[in-house]
Amino acid sequence: MSRPPLPPATIIDVAAKAGVSKSTAARALARYGSVSAKTREAVQKAADELGYQPNALARSMITGRTKTIGVVIPDVGNHFFAVAMRGISTAAREAGYEVLLSSTEGDLALERRAVELLAGKRVDGIVVAPVSTEDTDHLERLEGQGIAVTLLDRPAPKVKAASFVSVDHVEASTLAVNHLIDLGHREIGIVTEALMPAGWKPDARQESKKLRPSAARLVGYVNALRGAGLRYRHEYVAWSAYAKASAYEATRRLVRDNPGLTAVYCTDSELSAGAFAALQDLKISCPKDMSLIGFDDQDWATLVRPRLTVVDQPSYQLGMAATEELLSTIGSAQDRRGDRTLSGRLIVRDSTARPPNTSDR
């Protein structure tokens, strides 16, 4: 007994059933303009009986809004972005917006495609953590298309109309290194994935707003050392790819080549995990012989022994803030770009302690 599928009920069907015009039916259902209580009830009843569902496509056509935002991030599996995504979803939902998510795997071509696709779907705005700070032509174009942009965590100076929401990575990094310095450490190594330009000198006063997070954290490390009157040593910097295995090798090399080292700072939780394993395998006692501090608080940080001291960033709040910024520029025609900078927080656990040979005196 298959009957031909009925086309979905439209506002016209509802209006006809309720015996009013379609504009009255629309007003009654969307609750704008003035409609008598009796009429509203009749329309509501007709809509319920027909199983009426407003056509979002048609609505967008006339309002010019889709009540949808896009999110483009490099990696949904990454803890920071996963939590930030929760903040974005919550803030969007509370404001009556839907979210379309795209993960680009750090691939610029995929990011371009994702942005194009979202623009084609006429999203009202996009929250993006761009793969590149320079190759941003696809993001710059969005301005002309009337699509708002908020940059999350990663700057893109050429996207002028975009607001920028981020943690102060320089400050957060300084927090981590200062904690080590306060404990009495003087020989502090760093495991970083920052790719600094060739010929980079630590003394150059960097504009932290234009730096990628990893680079900003390296600058924070240098600043903290300088603030304490300590020398920056190039051999104390272990360059690693963004992977546990790479950080593992980098840490092994770092501590082998620098026997005087008493503390290691890892600028990312992925790197901390590799470094932690390296110290264990080298049978270096942490924190007795070597202190270890990481960046970004993850579940495993409290499950391992010693529990890991970290600087945490407010990922969830960052996602919320980014969405709020985006929606505020969508709401108002003026594109006042509001930048928001949140602060990291030091969480002291068991992997940091006074350096060896300083306990007595």
Distance CA 355, CA 350 (A): 13
Q: Interface with DNA includes 47 (CB under 7 A)?
A: no
Where does this chain touch DNA (CB under 7 A) — which range of 53-61, 218-226, 240-248, 292-300?
53-61
Tell which phi-psi region holds residue 39, choosing left (phi > 0), alpha (psi between -120 and 50) or beta. alpha
Site for DNA in 13-32 (CB under 7 A): 20-24, 26-27, 29-30, 32
DSSP state of 350: S
The residue among 233, 238, 270 whose CA lies nearest residue 252 is 238
Nearest distance from residue 72's CB to DNA, in Å? 21
Q: Does 147 bind DNA (CB under 7 A)?
A: no
Going residue by residue from 64 to 103, which x/- string records binding to DNA, judged by CB under 7 A? x---------------------------------------
Q: Which is nearer to DNA, 60 or 178 (CB)?
A: 60
Which span (6-14, 68-76, 123-131, 233-241) binds DNA, by CB under 7 A? 6-14
| Rounded Cα distance, 348 and 335, in Å | 41
In the complex, the smallest distance separating the C-beta of residue 41 from DNA, rounded to whole angstroms, is 10
Q: Is 132 in the site for DNA (CB under 7 A)?
A: no
- Residue 194 is encoded by which pair of tokens? 């920052």
| Residue 36 is a binding residue for DNA (CB under 7 A) | yes
| Total chain residues near DNA (CB under 7 A) | 29
Confirm or reject binding of residue 333 to DNA (CB under 7 A): no
CB atoms inside a 10 Å sphere around CB 174: 23
Q: Which value, in Å, is the radius of gyration of the alpha carbons in the chain?
A: 27
Closest approach of Cβ 140 to DNA, in Å? 20
Is there binding between residue 121 and DNA (CB under 7 A)? no
Least separation, in Å, of the C-beta of 235 and DNA? 58
Q: Where are the beta strands (DSSP E) in 90-201?
A: 98-103, 125-128, 148-152, 163-167, 188-192
Contact 303, 128 (CB under 8 A): no
Q: Which residues contact 123 (CB under 8 A, 6 or more apart)?
A: 66, 68, 69, 70, 100, 147
CB closer to DNA, 22 vs 349: 22
Stretch that binds DNA, among 3-11, 251-259, 300-308, 318-326 (CB under 7 A): 3-11
What separation in angstroms does the CA of 310 have from each of 272, 342, 349?
9, 17, 8
Instruction: Check residue 247 for interaction with DNA (CB under 7 A).
Output: no
For DNA, give the closer residue by CB, 21 or 285.
21
Sign of CA dihedral 326, 332, 336, 340: negative
Residues that bind DNA (CB under 7 A): 7, 10-12, 20-24, 26-27, 29-30, 32-36, 38-39, 52, 54-55, 58-59, 61-64
